[in-house]
Structure 1
Amino acid sequence: RFFFFFSYLVNIVILREFTFDRQTDRQTDRPRIGWLDTARAFAIVAVLLVHATENLYIMDPAHLNVMSWYSKLFAITGFTVGRLGVPLFLFLTGYLLLDRVYDVGKIQRFWKRNWLGILVTTEIWIVLYDVFLRLFHFQHWSTKELIRDMLFMDQVHMGHMWYMLMIIGVYLCIPFVARALRNIDLKTIIFPLLILSFYAFGIPIIKSWGNAFSHFGDIRSLLDLGFSGGIYGIYIVLGLCVKRGLLHKLGTGILFAGMIVSLLLTIGLQWFSYGHGVAYNVWYDNGLLLLCTLCLFGLFSRISATRIHGICLWLSLNSFGIYLVHFPFIMLLRKVLIPLSVPMPGKVILLWVSVLIISCVICKIINLSPRLGRLLLYSR
Structure 2
Amino acid sequence: MYLCRLILPLSRMSDFQQKEDTSWLDNLRVVATISVIFLHVAAPFLYKFDKISGFNWWTANVYDSLVRFCVPIFVMITGALLLPKDYELSDYLKKRVTRIILPFIFWISIYLLHVLSTLKNGFKLPFLEMLNIGSTKIAYKTTYHFWYIYMIIGIYLFIPILSKWVKRATEKDIIYFLVLWVIAIIIANPLFLKHIPDFNLKYFSGFVGYVVLGYYLSIRNFEKVKHIRTISFFIFTTGVLLTIFGTYFLSISNGRFTIDLYTYFSPNVVIAAIGLFLFFKHTNLVNPQLKVIRKFTNKHSFGIYFVHILVLYYLSRFGVNGAVFGVVFGIPLTTILCLAISGLIIYLLKKLPFGDKLAG
> Are positions 1:280 and 2:265 aligned together?
no
> 1:352 is matched with which residue: 335, 352, 356?
335
> 1:237 is matched with which residue: 212, 218, 231?
212
Matches within 5 A, 1:301-340: 301-305=281-285, 309-335=291-317, 336-337=319-320
Matches within 5 A, 1:35-50: 35-50=24-39
What is the CA distance between 1:288 and its match in structure 2? 0.9
What is the TM-score normalised by the length of structure 1? Answer: 0.78
> Are positions 1:252 and 2:234 aligned together?
no
What is the CA distance between 1:89 and its match in structure 2? 0.6
Measure the CA separation in 1 of the matches of 2:350 and 2:221.
Answer: 37
Measure the CA separation in 1 of the matches of 2:212 and 2:304.
Answer: 25
> 1:227 is matched with which residue: 203, 214, 239?
203
1:295 equivalent in structure 2: 275
Measure the CA separation in 2 of the matches of 1:45 and 1:247.
Answer: 27
Structure 2 alignment gaps of length 5 or more: 1-19
Measure the CA separation in 1 of the matches of 2:138 and 2:156.
Answer: 19
Measure the CA separation in 2 of the matches of 1:34 and 1:60.
Answer: 39
Structure 1 residues 154 and 368 mapped into 2: Cα distance closer, same or farther (>3 Å)? same
RMSD: 2.9
What is the TM-score normalised by the length of structure 2? Answer: 0.82
Larger mean CA deviation between 173-182 and 135-144 belongs to 135-144
* 1:61 partner SS: coil
- Greater RCO (Cα-Cα under 8 Å, separation 6 or more): 1
1:14 equivalent in structure 2: none
The residue type equivalent to 1:301 in the other structure is K
What is the CA distance between 1:118 and its match in structure 2? 1.0
Measure the CA separation in 1 of the matches of 2:218 and 2:264.
Answer: 21
> Are positions 1:86 and 2:71 aligned together?
yes
What is the CA distance between 1:156 and its match in structure 2? 5.6
> Are positions 1:188 and 2:170 aligned together?
no
2:118 equivalent in structure 1: 136
Measure the CA separation in 2 of the matches of 1:287 and 1:139.
Answer: 45
> Are positions 1:120 and 2:102 aligned together?
yes
Contact 1:201 1:287 in 2 (8 A): yes
Larger mean CA deviation between 331-340 and 268-277 belongs to 331-340
Measure the CA separation in 1 of the matches of 2:252 and 2:120.
Answer: 33
Structure 1 residues 59 and 244 mapped into 2: Cα distance closer, same or farther (>3 Å)? same
Measure the CA separation in 2 of the matches of 1:84 and 1:138.
Answer: 37
Measure the CA separation in 1 of the matches of 2:121 and 2:198.
Answer: 37
What is the CA distance between 1:248 and its match in structure 2? 5.0
Measure the CA separation in 1 of the matches of 2:188 and 2:223.
Answer: 28
Contact 1:84 1:293 in 2 (8 A): yes
Contact 1:193 1:234 in 2 (8 A): yes
Structure 1 residues 80 and 373 mapped into 2: Cα distance closer, same or farther (>3 Å)? same
Measure the CA separation in 1 of the matches of 2:35 and 2:267.
Answer: 19
2:81 equivalent in structure 1: 96
Structure 1 residues 223 and 315 mapped into 2: Cα distance closer, same or farther (>3 Å)? farther
Matches within 5 A, 1:10-29: none
* 2:342 partner SS: helix
What is the CA distance between 1:304 and its match in structure 2? 3.3
The residue type equivalent to 1:108 in the other structure is S
User: Identity, % of aligned pairs?
Assistant: 22
> Are positions 1:369 and 2:352 aligned together?
yes
What is the CA distance between 1:339 and its match in structure 2? 11
Measure the CA separation in 2 of the matches of 1:181 and 1:247.
Answer: 19
Contact 1:48 1:82 in 2 (8 A): no
Contact 1:255 1:296 in 2 (8 A): yes
Structure 1 alignment gaps of length 5 or more: 1-30, 211-216
Contact 2:29 2:74 in 1 (8 A): yes
Contact 2:129 2:136 in 1 (8 A): no
1:9 equivalent in structure 2: none
Per-residue CA deviation, residues 212-271 of structure 1 (Å, 9 max, x unaligned), is xxxxx945773344433x331101110111123075554222111111122111111111
The residue type equivalent to 1:86 in the other structure is V
> Are positions 1:163 and 2:148 aligned together?
yes
Structure 1 residues 318 and 180 mapped into 2: Cα distance closer, same or farther (>3 Å)? same
The residue type equivalent to 2:294 in the other structure is C
